[in-house]
Homo-oligomer: A and B are copies of this chain.
Amino acid sequence: MASINEVAKQFTDYYYNTFDTNRKGLQPVYREHSILTWEGQEFRGAENIFEKLESLPFQRVQHKVTTLDAQPSNPSINSLLVLVTGLLLVDDESNPMQFTQSFQLIPDGESYWVYNDVFRLNYG
C-alpha cells in the first residue's frame, strides 16, 4: 500500500498537471459533498466547484509545488490532509505568484476524491 506521502504526491501531480493542461479533467475529483473555498468565496458540490474553476479568468496556468505535507485526517478511514505551498504563473506574466492550498482527500476504492479544498494566493 502506498504511504500517505506517496498518495499526496500522486494526487497533487495529477491535480496540478490536469489543472494546467485540461481543466475539464478535474471534474471527477469533486463530488456532491465537496467544498471549495477560493480566495474566501465558498462553493459547494461538484457542479458549482467545477463551474468556478472553469470560469477562472486566465487561459494558461502553470503550478509548481514548493512544499507538500500530508497527515492522516481520521483514525477510522484512510483519509488525508494535504498542505501545498507553491508558485503559479498565468498567461504572459513573468512573475510567479505564491499560493497555498489545503485538501482533505477521501478514499474510494483505489482512488481519492476531494472533500475539502481551500485555495489562497499569498500576497507579500
> Are the CB atoms of A100 and B73 closer together than 8 Å?
no
Question: Is A35 located at the chain interface by the 8 A CB criterion?
Answer: yes
Q: Is the interface of A mostly helix, strand, loop or mixed?
A: strand
Chain A contact-residue range equals 20 to 34
Are B124 and A98 interface neighbours, CB within 8 A? Answer: yes
Could you tell me the distance between the alpha carbons of A75 and B35 in the complex, rounded to whole angstroms? Answer: 12
Given A98-B98, A100-B83, A100-B85: A120 in contact with B69 (beta carbons within 8 A)? yes
Flag if B71 contacts A118 (CB, 8 Å): yes
| Chain B residues closer than 8 Å to A35, beta-carbon distance | 71-72
Of residues 43 to 88 in A, which have CB atoms within 8 Å of B's CB atoms? 66-67, 69, 71-75, 81, 83, 85
* Contact with A98, one of B40, B73, B122 (Cβ below 8 angstroms): B122
Q: Which residues of chain B are near A98, meaning CB under 8 Å?
A: 98, 122, 124
Specify which of B66, B73, B123 is in contact with A73 (CB 8 Å cutoff): B73
Q: Nearest Cβ in chain B — how far from A40, in angstroms?
A: 7
A12 at the interface (CB under 8 A from B): no
B102, B122, B123: the one contacting A81 at CB < 8 Å is B102
Lowest 4 A-B CB distances belong to which pairs? Answer: A83-B118, A102-B102, A100-B100, A83-B102
